[in-house]
Amino acid sequence: MSGLGVAILFGATVIARVPDEVLAYPNTVQIQIGDELVIGGEYFRIAYFTTPDSVSAVAEHFFQTWKKMGLPTMVDGHPEDEMVVSAFYTREGLQRSIVLKQWKGKTIGFAAVRDLWVRADASPKEMFSPADGVVWLQNVESRDGAARMYHQTALIEDKLGAVADRIKGQLAAAGYSLAQEKWLSRQGARQLTLEHTRGGQRVVTHLVEIDVGATAIVQTCDDCVGDSGGAEQMRSRAGGG
């Protein structure tokens, strides 16, 4: 108990007052990538910029600027490899990060805003939702205007045929028809591609038997509808940045 209190009380440093927001690195154009990105249920907004300045110079700029704004700020990485600078907006529940990478004499910076409060809990019902046997599962959803793309990668502890049957059953229940089923064998591993359609919507599923009893899945859905309420909340708290 006391350790926390003491850390809170005495771990601080003097910080000046600079209320202005920082949206972009000086003399660069920040280009947004899509509208929103949902990775593993967390909302992100991502943009990038390039500059001839060094990784360490750019990292120092953001670290000092955010620190002067009074934000808890941290920096990690190595100047010759990759550096990450993060600031935490504790009132708004947002994290702003800059990921910096040296590439062909330039520094590429990825600026991300991450929502720490709101999660997209509901996946589109078209996406495979295994009840058991999940070794690993990752969802990525990108939204750009009216276009939406939902990707899911998973490793399921089950045979390829059994997983494929479960996917077919789930999509059939969602009103999809099987448009194409293609079997392949590459380097001794069985692969299956399924294409399901419903009106203008399309779900493509690649299944690979990577080991006896284990199946890897990459599933993509165009224009699937997931939970979008969180994105609205994030936009309102993140403002224009």
Nearer to another protein, 72 or 130 (CB): 72
Nearer to another protein, 21 or 144 (CB): 21
In whole angstroms, what is the distance from residue 172 CA to residue 158 CA? 20
**For residue 20, which phi and psi values (nearest 5 degrees)?**
-70, 145
186 binds another protein (CB under 8 A): no
Which letter, b or e, does each residue of 36-45 get, where b requires 16 or more Cβ atoms within 10 Å of its Cβ? bbbbebbbbb
- C-alpha dihedral sign at 208, 213, 214, 217: positive
Nearer to another protein, 187 or 236 (CB): 236
Contact 152, 178 (CB under 8 A): no
Q: How far is the CB of 35 from another protein (least distance, A)?
A: 23
Q: For the segment 43-62, give every residue that binds another protein (CB under 8 A).
A: none
70 binds another protein (CB under 8 A): yes
Nearer to another protein, 10 or 103 (CB): 10
Is residue 26 within a helix (H) or strand (E), and if so which, with residue range? none
Contact 76, 84 (CB under 8 A): yes
Q: How far is the CB of 235 from another protein (least distance, A)?
A: 16
69 binds another protein (CB under 8 A): yes
Interface residue list for another protein (CB under 8 A): 1-6, 8-15, 17, 19, 69-72, 87-95, 116-117
